[in-house]
Amino acid sequence: MNKNFFTLLMVACLFISSLSYGQEDKRIKIEIALKDGNKTTKAVLRSATFSFTKSTVSGTESEVKNNYYFSLDFEKQDIALLAVLMKNKAGVDGQITMTDTFGKLPTRKFDFTKGRVDSLSDQLTADYTSAYISLLCDSLIIDGVKIE
């Protein structure tokens, strides 16, 4: 009797844990918004990476150029967002926002100007898709702090 009860209890626990595992929500939401005239196009990101470099222009140390890059990772290519980026060759202004859906971490905001595509990659397989876009920007403000 104890063996049957233990087996039944174990099966019930495994069943319930497998149900709750499949329903786990993502805690962090990352979204990009691009301004196209008076219209805003938004897309959800899997991840975003920012990098900043300073380089000298024409070998003179007196002239320094700031380079702002975003590497954007999408679960799938967002065609509306891609169309905005391709249409605006001079670049688009936008914002990347990271929000904790549980409300425990502060919201992060990355405002950029004149973002334009530096590189683009799209991976398609039978059971997985992924898209990467690298943006080169003219300026960046992280949570109200201008990066220079």
pTM of structure: 0.75
d(CA 114, CA 140): 10
pLDDT digits (tens, 9 = 90+) for 4-55: 665 655 655 555 655 555 445 678 899 999 998 899 999 999 999 999 888 8
Q: What's residue 59's pLDDT? A: 64
Residue of 51, 131, 144 whose CA lies nearest to 95: 144
Q: What's residue 23's pLDDT? A: 46
Q: What's residue 108's pLDDT? A: 93
Q: What's residue 15's pLDDT? A: 59
Q: How many CA atoms lie within 13 A of 27 on its CB side?
A: 5
